[in-house]
Structure 1
Amino acid sequence: MIMRRTWRSALRHDTACHPQTEGLCLMELWQYDATDLARLIRTGQASAREAVDSVLKRLHAVNPTVNAVVRVLEPEARAAAETADAARARGHALPPLHGVPVTTKVNVDQAGLPTDNGVVALKDFIAKEDSPVVANLKHAGAIIVGRTNAPAFSMRIFTDNALHGCTYNPRDRTVTPGGSSGGAGAATATGIGAIAHGNDIGGSVRIPAYCNGVVGLRTGFARIPSLNPSAPTGRPIGAILMATQGPHTRSVRDARLALEVMARGDRRDWRWNDVPMQGPPPARPIKVAIVPEVPGGPTHPAQAAAVRLAGKHLQAAGYVVEEILPPDMERGVELWHMICVTDVFGGLWPQMQKMGDPDAIAAMQAWLQVQKAVDLQGYVAALTEREGLMLRWMTFFHQWPLVILPTLCDLPPKQRADVTVEGQRDVLQSMRSALLAPLLGLPGLAVPVGSHEKLRTGVQIMSMRNREDLCLDAGEVIEAAEGVVKPIDPEH
């Protein structure tokens, strides 16, 4: 094909290539990160139609094995690609993701499609308009090729439900791909789109990034406008304070690009922050607090080693790295449970029992046995104590602007490990490192560091609110040492 020969030939002589693409003259378009793919399309070295064709071909090749994308939008994507190419031919100004294939998660509104959230009873619940994050991706020129799987009600770190079935980890089918954005993580890892939308209230962007060995950015409170127009009654306080949107990518620079795109304002969300993407420079050298051993339980040696290795990478780049604990970490984990379990018990749990999903119900029953809901007085007290803890963490960040923890304290658990009380207790113990960022409304960037057998180990980089830029800067240093993530073929 003439156009394909053209973009391959041009890339061969491009000395500004990202490390992911450098020297790989025969790569298929689905293998590129969003930054390079957008550049190829913008400069006419590839077309949006070719990019969509390539990603759809990849989807059909690998998705039957991983079940990451549960609604393929092939006709819509091809039509959008034709429109994108026509706009370029007419000389229109091109947005930053013009023609780049992406995916969205089944728990956000996308006009004309069901917001089913993995629930059989919601399979025909059709959204009438786009959620802000979907609208922002479209506004940036991205082409949505499919919708990714989530656990029923998006409340597990296992991506399985009675409506769409199980999503498999492409690195090891026996362990979870993470959740609740497990489909997004598996899609990104296998090359089904360069950017996959996800969301995070207890680790649901960062945990799938860790399990699948990709990059995942949980944004801080109100950085990206977040709401579903199909749910006008609103959400519980815990979700309002803790749930955020974010991307899965294979490069840190794509996470930065996706953040800028997704964070476009939307007046429907009163919480949205109109603040610069780049904050004031911190004092140099930047001090980093690393926490290899997370208080409150065991930390797997491979995960502790990943944190120390990330610290070495940063130290080599001029950061000052210290092993030091931020304030009251164990109490922070307790507060997350007090707030979220009480929210769930009062709202979501009755819906789950009514709508049904056997594994979701079993996992929730186990969670409610391990962690009890509190009364109104206890709930208000937990929210008040959270405020005091936030103050202590913000004070800590003034001295140590970055904190690095394991993404999970343990290796990814075996599939369905949370449907028993014993298994759920282990899962929640492992999750304690992931719960602090949502409790405090902080950004967290998950990046792969090291490996353990078939899997990548990984860390999360946290900073104060609105300082995703500091996380991304540090993530790029770690990525430079570890290598940029390349898409993988799934294990059969």
Structure 2
Amino acid sequence: MTDPNDLTARELAARVRSGTLKAREVTRATLDRVARLNPAINAIVQDTGEEAMRDAEALDARIAAGEEGGALAGVPVTVKVIADQKGYATTNGTTLAKDLIATEDSPFLRNMRAQGAIVVGRTNCPAFSYRWFSSNKLHGTTSNPHNPGLTPGGSSGGAGAATAAGLGHIAHGTDIAGSIRYPAYACGVQGLRPTPGRVPAFNQSGPDRAIGPQLMAVAGPLARRVDDLRLGLEGMSGYAPDDPWSAPVPLTGPAVAPRVALVKRPGGIDTDPRILEDLERAAEVLRNAGWQVEEPTQVPDIREAVELQIDLWLSDAHSDKLAAAKLEGDPGAIALLSFYEERARGIDLATFSALFSRRARLIRAWRAFLVDYPLVLMPVSAELPFAQDEDLRGPEALARLWEAQVPQIGIPLLGLPALSVCSGVEAGVPCGVQLVAPPWREDLCLDAGEVLERSFGLHPPG
């Protein structure tokens, strides 16, 4: 049988639909690969193998009976443990939720299953999904497949590591401060943060999210190939009545002026020379593809977006968050929340209300900028992937890490889609660039991302 990892998700699904490749064969091969490779990286932390085989056999039977298999027919996917999957614990990486068994699938997963996707495992995250590192007391530590000394990223670090290792074609992740884009960057794969409302998400197992996550947190795909992201987005998306933010917006939009803003140091960050070099390479690739790439002297503020993001996410109900982190006993969550504890005390109702006026002004400025420049090319991070657990080295280290992440933290507050594209892996250290587009124009990110991917190539672990 053809190795499923040699096929794109679209090619694989086409063969399963035609009957030339059986979903059960693809699933068995993927589960065998998980059994071989996952113990070394601990990316998949909840086993769904038996259910996956049942679902694959049922899909083969439907196709044999003449039914349509779906756009994701037989495609192996993984789901982050932050999301409801019927019959499994929605742990979010905590012992506190180890028995929180979902009774229904989250709507994005319903959509993917309806298109024939097969869930081959559930992936790790840090406790409460707070960190750019992926370890917790319940599921253990996830390692970077390229280099165990580096973080696989977070909070969707299990998704990034599984994708890089070929443990499924499409991984589900979530992103409120870079939690899709950073694991993709750290693991040498591709990751798409969609526009809020594009991919429906709702956990029946728990309470509704607080205001910050409602406004900024999204679900989206990670994959080795940009076209796999495109197919994953198509499969996840759609209006769902149980997600009040979901919207039935077309996946493609009208033609735009082919102008790109190259922003090497968003917010004035001190960017690593290798990242700057890869941004220049990406700019030249886009120029050769017909894009007009410019370095504008005036770029809307992104630092204020970071500040507002911190207040809307971490400062809201901060004391409850810190109490839960202490009850869990997770050092990473405690370190982060303690770092912002004094700041959170200064957020009263009037200050919190004023955040939304400031947010509206920033969004207005960025949307106006994106009329002139429909695509922005910028770093994912100002630094190469962090050392494993580097955020536990004290407040100074934590402050430096958050400074490096300015390019990704500010984007969620602005409500924009963004794509992390791997630009290469050198001596076991991945790197990448970020593309940002106007709301609902993931298609622009994906189109440009495919151009970059053809030049940069794919980079599986050695």
Q: TM-score band (shorter)?
A: over 0.9
Q: Distance in 1 between matches of 2:317 and 2:401?
A: 18
Read off the aligned partner of 1:316 and give its amino acid letter: N
Which of 319, 329, 334 aligns to 1:356? It is 329
Q: Distance in 1 between matches of 2:408 and 2:389?
A: 19
- Using the TM superposition, name which of 346-355 and 396-405 deviates more: 346-355
Which of 169, 177, 183 aligns to 2:144? It is 169
Q: Deviations over 1:155-213 (max 9, x none)?
A: 10000000011000011101100000000000000000000000000000000000001
Is 1:289 equivalent to 2:289 in the alignment? no
The 3-state SS of whatever aligns with 1:289 is strand
Matched with 1:25 is: none
2:315·2:343 contact (CA, 8 Å) conserved in 1? Answer: no
Q: Distance in 1 between matches of 2:78 and 2:345?
A: 36
- Using the TM superposition, name which of 85-94 and 329-338 deviates more: 329-338
Q: Distance in 1 between matches of 2:132 and 2:413?
A: 17
Is 1:61 equivalent to 2:40 in the alignment? no
**For residues 252 and 468 of structure 1, do their structure 2 counterparts lie closer, same or farther at Cα, with a shift above 3 Å needed?**
same
Matched with 1:432 is: 406
- Using the TM superposition, name which of 262-271 and 189-198 deviates more: 262-271
1:31·1:191 contact (CA, 8 Å) conserved in 2? Answer: no
Which of 89, 112, 134 aligns to 1:137? It is 112
2:197·2:245 contact (CA, 8 Å) conserved in 1? Answer: yes
**For residues 36 and 257 of structure 1, do their structure 2 counterparts lie closer, same or farther at Cα, with a shift above 3 Å needed?**
same
The 3-state SS of whatever aligns with 1:104 is strand
1:33·1:250 contact (CA, 8 Å) conserved in 2? Answer: no
Alpha-carbon distance, 1:274 to partner: 1.0
Q: Distance in 1 between matches of 2:146 and 2:342?
A: 32
Matched with 2:431 is: 457
Is 1:313 equivalent to 2:288 in the alignment? no
Matched with 1:397 is: 370
1:152·1:160 contact (CA, 8 Å) conserved in 2? Answer: yes
Q: Deviations over 1:415-443 (max 9, x none)?
A: 11112212211110111110121011110
Q: Distance in 2 between matches of 1:479 and 1:116?
A: 34
Matched with 2:295 is: 323
1:189·1:213 contact (CA, 8 Å) conserved in 2? Answer: yes
Matched with 1:14 is: none
% same residue: 42
Q: Distance in 2 between matches of 1:350 and 1:209?
A: 31
- Using the TM superposition, name which of 404-413 and 363-372 deviates more: 363-372
Q: Distance in 1 between matches of 2:54 and 2:435?
A: 39
Q: TM-score, normalised by structure 1?
A: 0.90
Q: Distance in 2 between matches of 1:372 and 1:431?
A: 24
Is 1:71 equivalent to 2:71 in the alignment? no
Q: Distance in 1 between matches of 2:267 and 2:416?
A: 19
Q: Distance in 2 between matches of 1:447 and 1:63?
A: 24
The 3-state SS of whatever aligns with 1:433 is helix
Q: Deviations over 1:80-101 (max 9, x none)?
A: 1111111111111121111111
Q: Distance in 1 between matches of 2:150 and 2:340?
A: 20
Is 1:381 equivalent to 2:354 in the alignment? yes
Q: Distance in 1 between matches of 2:375 and 2:281?
A: 15
Read off the aligned partner of 2:84 and give its amino acid letter: D
Q: TM-score, normalised by structure 2?
A: 0.96
Matched with 2:246 is: 272
Matched with 1:21 is: none
The 3-state SS of whatever aligns with 2:96 is helix
Aligned pairs (5 A) from 1:82-97: 82-97=57-72
Is 1:251 equivalent to 2:225 in the alignment? yes
Alpha-carbon distance, 1:481 to partner: 1.4
Q: Distance in 1 between matches of 2:353 and 2:203?
A: 26
Q: Distance in 2 between matches of 1:301 and 1:258?
A: 33
Read off the aligned partner of 1:239 and give its amino acid letter: P
1:224·1:245 contact (CA, 8 Å) conserved in 2? Answer: yes
Read off the aligned partner of 1:405 and give its amino acid letter: M
Read off the aligned partner of 1:247 and give its amino acid letter: P
Q: Distance in 2 between matches of 1:367 and 1:427?
A: 14
The 3-state SS of whatever aligns with 2:24 is helix
Alpha-carbon distance, 1:467 to partner: 0.5
Alpha-carbon distance, 1:303 to partner: 1.3
Alpha-carbon distance, 1:294 to partner: 2.6
Aligned pairs (5 A) from 1:362-377: 362-368=335-341, 374-377=347-350
Alpha-carbon distance, 1:32 to partner: 2.6
Q: Distance in 1 between matches of 2:174 and 2:76?
A: 19
Alpha-carbon distance, 1:346 to partner: 4.6
1:449·1:482 contact (CA, 8 Å) conserved in 2? Answer: yes
The 3-state SS of whatever aligns with 1:307 is helix
Alpha-carbon distance, 1:369 to partner: 6.1
Q: Distance in 2 between matches of 1:406 and 1:344?
A: 31
Is 1:261 equivalent to 2:235 in the alignment? yes
2:190·2:223 contact (CA, 8 Å) conserved in 1? Answer: yes
Which of 423, 446, 451 aligns to 1:472? It is 446
Read off the aligned partner of 1:153 and give its amino acid letter: F
What CA RMSD, in Å, does the superposition of the two structures yield over aligned residues? 1.6
Q: Distance in 2 between matches of 1:311 and 1:402?
A: 11
Read off the aligned partner of 1:302 and give its amino acid letter: R
Q: Distance in 2 between matches of 1:358 and 1:456?
A: 27
Read off the aligned partner of 1:365 and give its amino acid letter: S
The 3-state SS of whatever aligns with 1:78 is helix
Which of 121, 130, 145 aligns to 1:155? It is 130
Which of 325, 337, 350 aligns to 2:310? It is 337
1:370·1:421 contact (CA, 8 Å) conserved in 2? Answer: no
- Using the TM superposition, name which of 159-168 and 38-47 deviates more: 38-47
How many aligned residue pairs are there? 460
1:238·1:343 contact (CA, 8 Å) conserved in 2? Answer: yes
2:188·2:459 contact (CA, 8 Å) conserved in 1? Answer: no
